Amino acid sequence: SQKIEQNSEALNIQEGKTATLTCNYTNYSPAYLQWYRQDPGRGPVFLLLIRENEKEKRKERLKVTFDTTLKQSLFHITASQPADSATYLCALFSGGYQKVTFGTGTKLQVIP
């Protein structure tokens, strides 16, 4: 069956360090993958999209990689700040609206 796993429920990191979050999937052939940020009591907010033929995407302090051989995406936040503390969700789009699937998320805590 299709499955998405995000490396851990929670990740604590010191301010200024690089946070790395992992999204692994099985039994998918995603056309592209997205990362969202969700704050408590709020809806997810779209951050980045990466297509299957792209290896890396950057936006300011954010970087996403996509390895379709390993079936894995890594999400990096460089020079992390306490304001980056939130839950980060990965979502796979494998064609057709019914194929949008979200991971359970990783809760990131950046410690001052």
Residue 8 in tokens: 């851990």
Among 35, 77, 103, 106, binds other proteins (CB under 8 A): 103
- Are 48 and 57 in contact by the 8 Å Cβ rule? The answer is yes
Give me the phi and psi of 97, to 5 degrees please. -60, -30
| Minimum CB–partner distance for residue 73 and other proteins (Å) | 15
- Of 17 and 58, the one with the shorter C-beta distance to other proteins is 58
| Minimum CB–partner distance for residue 11 and other proteins (Å) | 16
Among 20, 31, 76, 78, binds other proteins (CB under 8 A): 31
Pick from 24, 19, 45, 34: nearest CA to 107: 19
Q: Rule CB under 8 A: which residues touch other proteins?
A: 4, 9, 31-32, 34, 36, 41-46, 49, 51, 89, 91, 93-105
